[in-house]
Amino acid sequence: MSTIVLSAGGTGGHLFPAQALAGELVKRGRTIVVMTDTRFANYATHFPGARIETVPSSPFNTIAAPFKILAGAFLALRKLKRIRPDAVIGFGGYPSVPVMLAANFAHLNTGIIEQNAVVGRANRLVMDKVKLVAAAFPIARFAPKDKSKIVLTGNPLRPEVEALWGAPYDAPMFGGPLNLLVFGGSQGARALSEIVPAAITRLPRDLKVRLRIVQQCRAEDVDKVREIYDNAEINAQLAPFFSDLPHRMAESHLVIARSGAGTVAELMAIGRPAILVPLPGALDDNQTPNADILANAGAGWRVRQSDLTPDALAAMLVEIFSGPAALAHKAAAAHSLATPHAAARLADAVEQLAERKAA
């Protein structure tokens, strides 16, 4: 039984695709070892049967980063020599850097998956050394020198999303409820918690009474946002975290969100129109090309945060909800962009990489 090491950052954006690949490889009889940082504790239950190895690392923008990454690489090298994997796959994020550096130094079969249209900095450090670059979307910037190693697999989806693949879109009926889902992740929720409620209060009363809002807010913002919605008599459910977010997405008529790779892939898989607001200050502006994939296909709207004033968003929502048929077309356009069986495609590529050792 061959062993595959997966190395991913400690956030859901990196670990959910790793979870999907791990599940597919386990079904094929592979042994999985996950190497990541201590933040992985929040996601450990998503990898049943996998062995977990923690390796120290550091964000790139700290003074101690070179020393911590070097220490992590030495520890990862010791662990990899003991594990003797057939392949090591990196999913990006700074915790993957020591592992991928060590794996390349040990001349192991290595590959990375890039979930964004712009290759992230962690993956850029190693992409010209690895033998496989699996891409969720066509790479818009910072492609490896050897483009023949790129395989377009799509973004592997967690099982909860796969179960909702192409969920039927029930366009809003005249006078019926309007289901709006708003979320922004840990970095993006604050701005949306300020802009969206202010925009909602500016809507005509006939739209306000129809709205059913589900919104993710930071814990420190929940009370303030709830007060705004309550004063405006808006039906809203607020929480810092929704464990069933894919289900909420499937129930929505419209989504307002950041445009991280995972969010965009899930919108495509389920098939929902969205107003996407790329995170300002994101490294290399990697969220804008993700949003443009949907916007250019007529599956949603990409709006810079600096342009998303409450008045502008209120005007957008009035126009959007006045055309239910157009919303349904955008939902279909979003799903048409999805890559089916992405986890299986990636597993095929990883197994081919792993077989090079046997050959």
**For 36-40, 219-223, 315-319, which range has the lowest pLDDT when averaged over its residues?**
36-40
Q: How confident is the model at residue 351 (pLDDT cuts 50, 70, 90)?
A: very high
Res 203 pLDDT > 60: yes
Quick: pLDDT tens for 125-167: 999 999 999 999 999 889 999 999 999 999 999 899 999 999 9
Q: How confident is the model at residue 41 (pLDDT cuts 50, 70, 90)?
A: low
Q: Structural domains in the chain?
A: 3-155+340-358 (3.40.50.2000), 178-336 (3.40.50.2000)
Res 18 pLDDT > 90: yes
CA distance 21 to 150: 17
Amino acid found at 168 = P
Identify the burial level of 174 via C-beta atoms within 10 angstroms of its C-beta, where 0-12 means exposed, 13-18 middle and 19 or more buried. Answer: exposed
| CA dist 24 → 13, 133, 203, 325, 341 (Å) | 18, 19, 46, 37, 10
CA distance 166 to 349: 25
Q: Residue 248: enclosing H or E segment and its boundaries?
A: helix 245-251
Q: How confident is the model at residue 13 (pLDDT cuts 50, 70, 90)?
A: confident
pLDDT at 359: 47
**What number is the average pLDDT over the span 101-112?**
97
pLDDT at 274: 98
Number of C-beta neighbours around residue 137 at 10 A: 22
pLDDT at 340: 95
Quick: pLDDT tens for 112-122: 999 999 999 99
- Pair 160, 140: CB distance under 8 Å: no
- Pair 87, 112: CB distance under 8 Å: no
- Pair 121, 140: CB distance under 8 Å: no
pLDDT at 1: 66
